[in-house]
């Protein structure tokens, strides 16, 4: 069984604050910029990337486009970005796993997540435990009781090994003392569709995409996974207050660039991204997202801290790549 040192700090390549004026490519961007999303369209990651691309296209003299490169637990898209030229013209809008977790799970990645240049933190959103409408459990306590009475019968979806959904369910297994069956998908949308259709029992999803389905009576939400109740669904308890103290799961999104991207260029893009997000406040609230303005150094530290947090879950739950 592989174990990981999650106490030692994770080294994440970050830009230092060098004078932007010293960078030779002051005219950036001089051609189209591509934002890679390592998952299929329709996800929260994809929605956020398209909002950012639109705002940057208005701010910059060149277009910014989104390219979805899915597969391999998001490793295919991440490897594509890691191997791209470090010139700012190919970057990745990423959820946690490709930049913070996959190196703890896969032996032969074609890239090292710790070498990405952390450009900016974008937004965060609480996760929620979404279940099929006819699941015979109306609360977390009832779900755990059902799981103990029916070991190996409960099924949960995820976007692949190491995704936030996978690790959140693993955390539920450890804290609840149950064992469930993992069903990986190529993205959040197909997993949600199978919850709606009743093909799988549950999926840890962001509030962005799950609340409309919940309001539309297509799924049920047993609880939210943030430390506090959500103002969007105040009637729903947290998992922590439902009998699993300490349970926490949020999804966050970061913008990263290929290794060795020049520090001054990273600083320039960071400033432009933070400025672009100031104009997205209303839209982010509509999507139940919270902006996370931060410097490249702060982004790198946040990602390293998340690696440490979820690395402990990986160890305790004996999570392996599937």
Average pLDDT over residues 40-55: 93
Any bridge partners for residue 221, and if so which? 130
Q: Strand, coil or helix: what is 246? A: coil
Token representation of residue 72: 């391999």
pLDDT of 252 higher than 50:
yes
Average pLDDT over residues 224-245: 96
What phi and psi values does residue 116 have, to the nearest 5 degrees?
-60, 145
pLDDT of 22 higher than 70:
no
What confidence score (pLDDT) does residue 318 get?
A: 87
C-beta separation of 154 from 181 below 8 A: yes
Q: Strand, coil or helix: what is 202? A: strand
Cα–Cα dist 37/93, whole Å: 6
pLDDT tens digits, one per residue of 148-193: 999 999 999 998 888 889 999 999 999 999 999 999 998 889 999 9
Structural domains in the chain, CATH included, are: 20-125+252-317 (3.40.190.150), 126-242 (3.40.190.10)
Q: Strand, coil or helix: what is 126? A: strand
Integer angstrom CA distances of residue 119 from 124, 279, 293, 304: 16, 19, 11, 14
pLDDT of 4 higher than 90:
no
Burial class of 192 by CB neighbour count within 10 A (0 to 12, 13 to 18, 19+): buried
Percent of the chain at pLDDT above 70? 92
Token representation of residue 193: 């569709």
Confidence category of residue 71, pLDDT binned at 50, 70, 90: confident
Higher pLDDT, 318 or 134: 134
Confidence category of residue 82, pLDDT binned at 50, 70, 90: very high
Confidence category of residue 25, pLDDT binned at 50, 70, 90: low
Cα–Cα dist 28/264, whole Å: 11
Average pLDDT over residues 234-262: 96
pLDDT of 19 higher than 70:
no
Q: What is the pTM of this model?
A: 0.82
Least confident of 137-146, 255-264, 313-322: 313-322
């Amino acid at each position: 069984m592989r174990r990981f040192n999650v106490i030692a700090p994770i080294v994440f390549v970050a830009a230092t604050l060098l004078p932007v004026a010293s960078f030779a490519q002051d005219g950036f961007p001089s051609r189209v910029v591509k934002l890679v999303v390592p998952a299929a369209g329709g996800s929260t990651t994809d929605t956020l990337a398209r909002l950012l691309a639109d705002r940057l296209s208005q701010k910059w003299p060149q277009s910014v486009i989104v390219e979805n490169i899915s597969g391999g637990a998001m490793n295919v898209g991440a490897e594509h970005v890691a191997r791209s030229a470090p010139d700012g013209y190919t970057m990745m809008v990423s959820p946690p796993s490709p930049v913070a977790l996959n190196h703890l799970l896969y032996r032969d990645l074609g890239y090292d997540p710790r070498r990405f240049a952390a450009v900016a933190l974008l937004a965060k959103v609480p996760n929620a435990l979404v279940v099929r409408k006819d699941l015979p459990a109306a609360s977390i306590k009832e779900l755990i009781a059902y799981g103990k009475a029916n070991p190996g019968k409960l099924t949960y979806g995820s976007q692949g090994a190491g995704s936030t959904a996978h690790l959140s369910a693993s955390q539920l297994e450890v804290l609840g003392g149950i064992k469930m069956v993992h069903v990986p998908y190529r993205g959040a949308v197909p997993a949600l569709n199978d919850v709606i259709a009743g093909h799988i029992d549950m999926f840890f999803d962001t509030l962005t995409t799950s609340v409309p389905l919940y309001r539309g009576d297509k799924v049920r939400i047993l609880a939210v996974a943030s430390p506090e109740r959500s103002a969007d669904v105040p009637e729903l308890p947290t998992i922590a207050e439902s009998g699993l103290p300490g349970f926490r799961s949020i999804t966050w999104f970061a913008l990263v660039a290929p290794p060795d991207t020049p520090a001054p260029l990273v600083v320039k893009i960071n400033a432009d991204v933070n400025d672009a997000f100031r104009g997205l406040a209303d839209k982010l609230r509509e999507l139940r997202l919270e902006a996370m303005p931060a410097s490249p150094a702060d982004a790198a530290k946040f990602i390293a801290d998340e690696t440490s947090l979820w690395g402990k879950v990986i160890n305790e739950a004996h999570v392996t790549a599937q």
